[in-house]
Structure 1
Amino acid sequence: MRTRPATMAMKVPEITLVFWIAKLCTTGFGESFSDYVFFNDYIGQHAAMLMGLVLLLVCLAVQMSITKYIPWVYWLAVTAVSIFGTMSADFLNKDLGMPLYASTLMLVAVQIGVFAAWYATQRTLDVHSIDNRLRELFYWLTVLCTFALGTAAGDFAAVTLGLGTLASSFVFFGIILIPAVGYRWFRLNEVLAFWFAYTITRPLGASVADWLSVPAPYGDGLQLGTGPISLVLGILLAGVITVIASRHRRSDPPKAAPPNSVEGVQGTFRN
């Protein structure tokens, strides 16, 4: 008789305020660091893409190999996705010459296709149901799609629509309030609200990062440089992940000692 395989322990974090702060930090850092590497003449765009892909594969391999949620592993994987997702969208536009509206529409279609395949095979898109390998694969593919789509959408708003990075930041901030308000007061489905907000955090964070960092003649903001802003946002991201990891350690109950271990025997006598 074939037994049903055991489900995995949850490997994604709880959706709290600090989760959204960390997500925005990964989007901002991923945008600025990707721009710093991808448009660096000493590295080259193809070499940058290859390095980003290797980083992504290594981080996802580690994430997929562990059996529980480990904050540093998870958030490093999200950061790697952010970097490579940004490069992928820029590659479509800069190297392949695809107009921003076309790449945005194409990535919307890809993300809808991933959602459709995920739901057709698993009958759920809930991140709290990531308890088997296929769902985990769909989850990370969706995350990658959201980052690439968000980058294209942010550039489309700032460049093609002519809004600029600062105005785009305010537009996406207003858009991200829609799922928050809808979920809080109008009973919007929580899964839809989550993925809506998750997708919009990307162009929001990317627009803010571009406003801070992109130098002249391409930037329209403070033009502080992608390198310095990457460093600042990287330190901020590391600090947020440290806080998350510390809170996770305090909330994670210690494992019970085996009965035949020294701790277990001592505990038996104390009881």
Structure 2
Amino acid sequence: MNTIDARIDMNFGRQTNPLNKLPEVTAAFWLIKLMAVTMGETAADYLNVNLGLGLSAASLMMTVILIGTLALQLSHRRYVPWVYWLNVALISVVGTLLTDYLVDNLGVSLVTCTVTFSALLAATFAVWCRIEGTLSIHDVDTALREAFYWLATLLTFALGTAVGDLVAEQFALGLDGILSFWLIYILTRPLGASFGDLLSQPVVYGGMGYGTIMTSHGFLAVIAITFGAMTIMQARQK
């Protein structure tokens, strides 16, 4: 790879492995991922409650569909955007339904689900690293590595549902507006700092390589646009 290509890889996170089955990790990637997480929760509730399928039928149906789309994903030798993101969307729904089924239908506690999914996720990473020698998402270029990736993805969605429900229900944080506000206020600081580092740090250090100047200007632009929109909305309400 020549100097120019290396610089592009450093600054924009371009894929360096043409056989990698995963997309580039960019801001768009995280935005779609965030939407997929949100959609998984709402879609699971829609299938279970609004359509009246129930957890058993909804879980079985979505699992069968997911198996089919995963087979399609594995059949491709390259990254195909619509196939990949279809699987992310479906696996978010199945992960949510899996936790809901264990808790609501089988009576498994949220604490048990959280501990179990955490252990399974840790074991998946351990076995994956032991066999393949890497957990890099830039080198998911074999069927085995991709199988480990999708298993880890499913477990993260199931774990996220369990943790979210545990925090909201068991600890009743949603019932105390003041406590919720200050906890979120505190937690957004390290989350924001970590996200800023992710965007600004060089690719070789695990970031996206946009640099501190571009990252700062980008966030400033978003803040300015949001502030402007809020100002306009407030003026219209008067």
Shared topology, TM-score over 0.5? Answer: yes
Cα distance in 2, alignment partners of residues 111 and 177 from structure 1: 25
> 1:44 maps to which residue?
54
What secondary structure does 1:42 align onto? Answer: coil
Pick which of 123-132 and 162-171 moved more: 162-171
Structure 2 runs not aligned, ≥5 long: 1-16, 208-238
8 Å Cα contact 1:182-1:188 kept in structure 2? no
8 Å Cα contact 1:107-1:149 kept in structure 2? yes
Cα distance in 1, alignment partners of residues 27 and 149 from structure 2: 20
Structure with the largest fraction of helix: 2
Q: TM-score, normalised by structure 2?
A: 0.69
- Superposed CA RMSD in Å reads 3.0
Pick which of 45-54 and 158-167 moved more: 158-167
| Match for residue 114 of structure 1 among 124, 130, 143 | 124
Deviation at 1:189, TM superposition (A): 6.4
Q: Calculate percent identity across the aligned residue pairs.
A: 38
Deviation at 1:180, TM superposition (A): 3.0
In the TM superposition, structure 1's runs of 4+ consecutive aligned residues that sit over 2 Å from their partners are 38-42, 165-185, 187-191
The answer on 1:180 being equivalent to 2:195 is: yes
Cα distance in 2, alignment partners of residues 112 and 189 from structure 1: 23
> 1:254 maps to which residue?
none
Cα distance in 2, alignment partners of residues 23 and 8 from structure 1: 22
> 1:190 maps to which residue?
206
> 2:73 maps to which residue?
63
What secondary structure does 1:55 align onto? Answer: helix
Pick which of 166-175 and 88-97 moved more: 166-175
> 1:227 maps to which residue?
none
Deviation at 1:46, TM superposition (A): 1.1
Alpha carbons of structure 1 residues 162 and 56: separation in structure 2 relative to 1, 3 Å: same
Alpha carbons of structure 1 residues 162 and 41: separation in structure 2 relative to 1, 3 Å: same
Pick which of 36-45 and 131-140 moved more: 36-45
Q: Residue by residue, what CA displacement relative to the aligned partner does 1:30-88 show, whole Å, maximum 9, x if unpaired?
A: 11010111234731221111111012111111111111111111000000100000000
How many residues align structurally? 186
Structure 1 runs not aligned, ≥5 long: 1-6, 192-271
| Match for residue 184 of structure 2 among 170, 179, 194 | 170
Alpha carbons of structure 1 residues 8 and 57: separation in structure 2 relative to 1, 3 Å: farther
8 Å Cα contact 2:55-2:100 kept in structure 1? no
